[in-house]
Structure 1
Amino acid sequence: MNLTEVYLEDVISFFNGKAPSQLKNGEYKIYGSNGIIGNSDSFNHENAIIIGRVGAYCGSIEICNNKFWASDNTIVVKTNNNNNLKYFYYLLGEFPLRNFAGGSAQPLLTQAILKKIKIKIPPLPIQQKIADILSKYDDLIENNRRRIELLERSARLLYKEWFVRLRFPGHEHTPIIDGIPEGWERLKLGEVLTLQRGFDLPSAKRTHGQYPIFASTGINGYHEKAKVQAPGIVTGRSGSLGKVMYIAEDFWPLNTTLYVKDFIKVDAVFALHLLENLHLEQYNSGAAVPTLNRNDIHKIKVLCPSCTLKSLFLAFANPIYTQIHFLDRYNQKLKQARDILLPKLMNGEIEV
Structure 2
Amino acid sequence: MSYKEELLGDYIDILSGFAFKTKDFVDNGVPIIKIKNISPPCVTLDDLTYVSNEVAEKQKKFMLSYDDVLIAMTGSHINQWTSVVGRVARVKYSDSTLLNQRVGKITIKANAEADINYIYYYLSQDAVKIKLAAKAGGAANQANISPAHIKGLSFPCPDLAIQKKIGNILKSYDDLIENNQKQIKLLEEAARRLYKEWFVDLHFPGYEDVEIVDGVPEGWTFGVLGDVAINSGKKEKKEKRDNYKYYLPIDCIPKKSLGYIQVNDVSLAKSSLIGFQKGDIIFGAMRPYFHKVVVARDKGLTRTTCFVLNAKDPSYWSYLAMLLFTKDTVDYATQISVGTTMPYVRWNDMRNMPVIIPDLEIAERFNKQIQPIIDNIASLSEQVILLQQARDRLSPKLMSGEIEV
With normalisation by structure 2, the TM-score equals 0.77
Bigger Cα displacement from structure 2, 301-310 vs 73-82:
73-82
Instruction: Structure 2: state its 5+ residue gaps.
Output: 39-43, 57-61, 77-83, 254-261
Structure 2 CA distance, aligned partners of 1:255 and 1:312? 33
How big is the shift at 1:264?
Answer: 3.9
Residue 319 (str. 1) matches residue 353 (str. 2): no
TM-superposed deviation, 1:32: 3.1
Identify the residue that residue 63 of structure 1 maps to in structure 2: 90
For 1:2 and 1:55, how far apart are their aligned partners in 2?
33
1:291 CA displacement: 0.9
Moved more, 154-163 or 100-109: 100-109
Measured after TM superposition, the shift of residue 197 of structure 1 is 5.9
CA contact (8 A) 1:193 1:265 kept: no
1:13 maps to: 13
Say if 2:35 is the partner of 1:32: yes
Letter in 2 for 1:79: I
- Secondary structure at the residue paired with 1:98? helix
- Residue 248 of structure 1 aligns with which residue? 297
Residues in 2 aligned to 1:268 and 1:100: alpha-carbon distance in whole angstroms: 49
1:45 aligns with 2:64: yes
Percent sequence identity over matched residues? 31
Match of 2:400 in 1: 347
**What displacement does 1:167 show?**
2.1
Residues 286-295 or 64-73, more deviating: 64-73
1:8–1:118 contact (8 Å) kept in structure 2? yes
2:236 is the counterpart of 1:233: no
Structure 2 Cα separation of the partners of residues 325 and 220 of structure 1: 14
Q: How does 1:141-152 map to 2 (within 5 A)?
A: 141-152=177-188
238-247 or 289-298: bigger deviation: 238-247
Aligned-partner SS, 2:144: coil
Counterpart of 1:54 (choices 58, 62, 74) is 74
Structure 2 counterpart of 1:211, from 245, 261, 275: 245
Contact kept? 1:198, 1:254, Cα under 8 Å: no
Find the aligned partners of 1:26 and 1:167 in 2 and give their Cα distance: 37
CA contact (8 A) 1:199 1:252 kept: no
Match of residue 89 from structure 1? 120
Larger deviation, residues 25-34 vs 174-183: 25-34
- 2:178 partner SS: helix
- Counterpart of 2:365 in structure 1: which amino acid? L
Aligned residues: 350
CA-atom RMSD in angstroms: 2.9
Partner amino acid, structure 1, of 2:284: G
Higher relative contact order (CA 8 A, sep 6+): 2
Residue 33 of structure 2 aligns to a residue whose secondary structure is strand
Deviation, structure 1 residue 346: 1.2
Aligned-partner SS, 1:167:
coil
Q: For residues 390 and 236 of structure 2, what CA distance do their matches in structure 1 show?
A: 31
The whole-number CA distance in structure 1 between the counterparts of 2:312 and 2:30 is 41
State which drifts further: 175-184 or 128-137.
175-184
Residues 157-203 of structure 1: per-residue CA shift (max 9 Å, x gap) = 0101110122222333322222212111111111111235664666x
Pairing 1:156–2:192 present: yes
Distance 1:213 1:107, change over 3 A: same
SS in 1 for 2:105: strand
Distance in 2, matches of 1:117 and 1:149, equals 37
Asked if the contact 2:244–2:301 (Cα under 8 Å) also holds between the matched residues in 1, the reply is no
1:86–1:25: structure 2 CA closer, same or farther, 3 Å change rule?
farther
Instruction: Report which of the two has the higher share of strand.
Output: 1
Which of residues 78, 82, 99 is equivalent to 2:134? 99
Any unmatched runs of 5+ in structure 1?
none
**Is this contact kept in 1: 2:233–2:308, CA < 8 A?**
yes
Q: 15-24 or 255-264, which moves further after superposition?
A: 15-24
Extract structure 1 runs of 4+ deviating beyond 6 A.
23-29
8 Å CA contact 2:69–2:120 kept in 1: the answer is yes
